[in-house]
Structure 1
Amino acid sequence: MTFTQFLTRLKGRLGFLGLALAYAAIVAVCLASFSRSDDLSLGRNPLDNLIKTGTEFVRPSFLDIWFGNTHYEYKSDDGTVLRTENRRLVETEYDKQLLIAAWVTFKIATLGSLLGALLSLPFAVFTAKNLRSPKWLSAASKMVLDISRSIHTLVFGLVLVGIVGLGPTAGILAIAFHSMGTYGKLFAESIETLDMAAIEAVRAVGASPSQTFFLAVWPNVLPQWVSSHLYIWEYNIRDSTILGIIGAGGLGLLISESVSLFQWGRLSTILLVVVLMVTVFDSLSRRIRQALL
């Protein structure tokens, strides 16, 4: 190893050490700030609350379909029976609503992801440096993608519910507008990794910009774009579960109800459905990505 190589390696390690120390300083400042304002309190009886909540979580409510009390009594403080219900029938009806809400969530994530991918395409093309778009157009496209990516789906949902009203439309648009930024960034990066020789060869024969894109760019980036689309689609299935909280449809409303009523067994059932949806979709998308390699 020459002295110059040694200095280069030492400089890189010192730079990394400096970044690590800066990160540690930021973490220390955050902890000190919270500690000074006493915002890191665990509340009253955290252990008892954890045990109580955990006990209810480990028994998902869907088990009542088979093991629920068929003559469950609701009593007042003095012991008077107010009403009775068949827990098995009640849970069966609830789980039907849960499956319908899960299907709505999947549809919102699917349509929102597709719309976001389509909206991002022109911005990705204009942002990719190797396609040599006009600087003002490239800068404007990058700004649009950065803004889209920086605003959370829930914020888009809150705004869109006020514009288009309650329902899945607001959820679809919220997913699309937020995902557009991520899609655009990933699509632009995949374009920038292309071999420019093939693109220049197509340009040399007099192809127009649109012909260059469809003949030299699109066929080469399609596998990466499909892989990116599947990944973001999977992410949006998780992300769209909270949109119902603001009235955009899906599982969010049921999550909000179970949390507000401290029905941890039902929340456990809802989360199991979400995990199952994501797991199944991840398995399918992994096989598709492997087939594209």
Structure 2
Amino acid sequence: MTRSWCARLAERLAKGCSGRSAFLALTLIYFLLVAACFGSLAGEGELSLGRNPVRNLLRTAVEFARPSFVDVWLGNPEFAYRSDDGTLLRVENRRTVELEYLAGLAGATWTTIRIATLGSLLGAVLALPLAVLTARNLAAPGQLAWLAKATLDVARSIHTLVFGLVLVGIVGLGPTAGILAIALHSMGSYGKLFAESIETLDIASIDAVRSVGAGPVQVFFNAIWPAVLPQFVSSHLYIWEFNIRDSTILGIIGAGGLGLLITEAISLFQWGRLATVLIVVVFLVASFDAISRRIRLALL
């Protein structure tokens, strides 16, 4: 896949300059782009904050400040729903209702973890052979290397949500569409990181294994795999952590998990319940980040 004209222009400027002048030139391009984005949006009137933004912000903040899970202890056990004319419609125990909601939230959290975990693993497996082909120091056949790089570029360019929308139409609603969407997008990121790890290897050690008559598979498992395994694991943990966060929005297109609860809360303006779900998301991502950081430090 051909690179964009912006990337080619930046590369030419970087080659034509050196050191500090190259940095200043690229910085100037960046600020020109920022000015163009801001100016065009301002000219189209798309930077408006709407009517009464402060009042809306305060009202939303007040509702967010009381997450719905506190109803387990503080909820009204005889909460009455009445019509506009005062007619009693029904009475419910808010504590029981919230306990049932939290049980569903736990199930949705487990679904999100499964989608991110299986999608990440599948993406890594699919990316590995493509990374081997695109690594420049392994000198793969030109056409195969180009095709592998183009595949990774396309996969990395298309957002997970777009993949999900397409896959829901193919495999139907449910976690399978989310797993495949995570895998296809992650494949591009994995492939790039894996290929860069391979390119940092000492080519002399690879040639030494080739010189004794080893085939491509033997070269990979004897000279490449042991050297890049720590970096591969670190990359996998990083993208896995990202996919935990990314998979929370896949419920928007019917993949289930926490994203479905987020969509429901937003559509019904249930900001207290949205706050509860977001607290779970933050806790989940923070916990996984702490675990993956420990594992990465152990690999050093």
Cα drift, residue 78 of structure 1 = 2.1
- Cα RMSD over matched residues? 1.2
For residues 86 and 161 of structure 1, the distance between their equivalents in structure 2, rounded to whole angstroms, comes to: 37
Paired residues in the alignment total: 285
Percent of aligned pairs with the same amino acid: 68
What TM-score, normalized to structure 2?
0.93
Q: Deviations over 1:171-200 (max 9, x none)?
A: 000000000000000000000000111111
Match 2:176 to one of 161, 169, 180: 169
Q: Deviations over 1:218-274 (max 9, x none)?
A: 000000000000010000000001111111121111111100111111001001111
Letter matched to residue 42 of structure 2? S
For residues 209 and 171 of structure 2, the distance between their equivalents in structure 1, rounded to whole angstroms, comes to: 45
For residues 125 and 46 of structure 1, the distance between their equivalents in structure 2, rounded to whole angstroms, comes to: 52
Cα drift, residue 11 of structure 1 = 4.9
For residues 48 and 248 of structure 2, the distance between their equivalents in structure 1, rounded to whole angstroms, comes to: 29
Match 1:151 to one of 150, 158, 161: 158
- Residue 231 of structure 1: aligned partner: 238
For residues 25 and 282 of structure 1, the distance between their equivalents in structure 2, rounded to whole angstroms, comes to: 35
- Residue 117 of structure 1: aligned partner: 124
Tell which deviates more after alignment, 72-81 or 180-189: 72-81
Cα drift, residue 81 of structure 1 = 2.1
Match 2:32 to one of 25, 35, 44: 25
Which consecutive unaligned segments of at least 5 residues does structure 1 have? Answer: 1-9
Cα drift, residue 148 of structure 1 = 0.3
Counterpart check, 1:68 vs 2:75: yes
Distance change >3 Å, CA 36–CA 109, structure 1 → 2 = same
What TM-score, normalized to structure 1?
0.95
For residues 162 and 36 of structure 2, the distance between their equivalents in structure 1, rounded to whole angstroms, comes to: 28
- Residue 5 of structure 1: aligned partner: none
For residues 162 and 62 of structure 2, the distance between their equivalents in structure 1, rounded to whole angstroms, comes to: 34
For residues 249 and 261 of structure 1, the distance between their equivalents in structure 2, rounded to whole angstroms, comes to: 17
Letter matched to residue 258 of structure 2? L
> What secondary structure sits across from 2:230 in the alignment?
helix
For residues 175 and 225 of structure 1, the distance between their equivalents in structure 2, rounded to whole angstroms, comes to: 18
Cα drift, residue 26 of structure 1 = 1.2
- Residue 270 of structure 1: aligned partner: 277
Q: Deviations over 1:17-44 (max 9, x none)?
A: 2222221111111111111111111111
Cα drift, residue 74 of structure 1 = 1.4
For residues 56 and 89 of structure 2, the distance between their equivalents in structure 1, rounded to whole angstroms, comes to: 28
Letter matched to residue 158 of structure 2? I
